[in-house]
Chains A and B, each alone.
Chain A
């Protein structure tokens, strides 16, 4: 859907109407905006998809707020050597808004889903889920992808080298790369890095000033709310129970109607929908497949290399906790030294091999020996 001025005018009125609502107005409620605007609470957004009319005012708001701040690449963009990693340049396609790109942090899926013998129209705003234990932040080797106490996960464009590991380890492959910008240009641009990764930062600069995210504030339907995660999780469960009941399902099936509560170990973005996410995901995958087919053909015709992956359109399948193995292995890290120390104190293997003769004399530290033996 293209941006249009009249819709924006309409939204200003909608915004005024929404201003009275504490958790979905322009300013964050005082209880959520900590001193210096740095919230100490894990804030979570909850999206009630039954309210979304697909107007894309949220997309407009995000683009208006942030797109102008995003850097344009140097030209020509350095080609990487060897040419294994593609140069990704979205600077000439900033108008694209039906998927995630480095210049578009939020898009809306417009779906028609076959459900219980009827066609249900559904609109889904999609952006970073702001995972509670985000693998993109945990596994970034340079500390560029960071998570805040407020539950925001963001990428520092001054540090990111654009290696796209965050995109690789993200179960939804959210971050998007713009080549030809960032720190790597000052290093060895052909051999190290490939740009900067961009994604939704949940309006961190505004949040720090005690203001609500723009997409939330500008929505005429108040689809999103922001509050501490425990409260949002309880609210999501109540809404999902209600939606399951309205859908004729047993209230015990309420988990089918909520997404983000447990996905990837729990996220700070929770969706509730009037139909099961299993069916929504099936419709998404079908739609994405058709779009990917067309876009890859278009890219080929335009002489661009075909883009791998989900083409900036995340699905909504079940996602196990990406950091689950690491969490379990932490136990091994805790046990190993205790076991080792116990073995040492118990003199286990203390005299395994008798050394013979003067050759076995202890070596003194010398300049040539210092420095570790890896």
Chain B
């Protein structure tokens, strides 16, 4: 496998970050918090209190993410090689992303009018919410660790090892 290429280069990473950022923001906005906590009062954020607008945004960002992941899958199937500069790097991240995609697909089908049994819907909603929270916290953890000076990071790493 040729690892000297990053497919899509930086723009692919930016698109992934954009999709995840929009998904997390519009997903949080699906909880009734934007108005309650005055976030929608911030300049330019009035739209965040409109559940329909943020739901459309969620769909748009989800389509972008699905497109990126499918593109990555296509390249992987062709074994084009390259080093991926974006996306989860471990099983935990991929599991969460997989759960989010599956439960999100279930919710989208239901929104399109397909009947889903109430018990199943409850499971989909809570799993989607829980996986999203875990994904967001994990992502924040990764970013925070990246932000630390190299020395501190290595000390933390050394401490975390038995």
Contact residues in A for B117 (Cβ distance below 8 Å):
149
Contact between chains at B90 and A350 (CB < 8 Å): no
Q: CA separation between A346 and B78, bound complex, in Å?
A: 9
Q: Which of B72-118 contact A (CB under 8 A)?
A: 72-78, 80, 82-83, 86-94, 96-97, 105, 107-113, 115, 117-118
Q: CA separation between A369 and B92, bound complex, in Å?
A: 10
Contact residues in A for B68 (Cβ distance below 8 Å):
340
Q: With A143-B125, A352-B8 as given contacts, are A344 and B32 in contact (CB-CB < 8 Å)?
A: no
Q: List 20 A-B contacts (CB under 8 A).
A: A141-B129, A142-B126, A148-B118, A164-B32, A168-B32, A169-B51, A323-B111, A325-B55, A326-B111, A342-B74, A345-B77, A345-B78, A347-B78, A353-B6, A363-B89, A368-B145, A371-B89, A372-B88, A374-B139, A374-B143
Give the number of residues in B that approach A within 8 Å (Cβ atoms). 86
Give the number of residues in A that approach B within 8 Å (Cβ atoms). 67
A224 near B: Cβ within 8 Å? no
Q: CA separation between A72 and B47, bound complex, in Å?
A: 35
Interface residues of A (CB under 8 A from B): 80, 82, 84-85, 132-133, 137-143, 146-149, 159, 163-165, 168-169, 265, 322-323, 325-327, 329-330, 332-333, 335-355, 360-363, 365, 367-374
Given A82, A133, A353, A361, which contacts B5 in the complex, CB threshold below 8 Å? A353
**Chain B interface main SS type:** helix
Interface residues of B (CB under 8 A from A): 3-12, 20, 24, 30-32, 35-38, 51-52, 55-56, 59-60, 62-64, 66-78, 80, 82-83, 86-94, 96-97, 105, 107-113, 115, 117-118, 121-126, 129, 135-136, 138-143, 145, 153, 157, 160-161
Given A84, A139, A372, which contacts B51 in the complex, CB threshold below 8 Å? A139
Contact between chains at A350 and B66 (CB < 8 Å): no
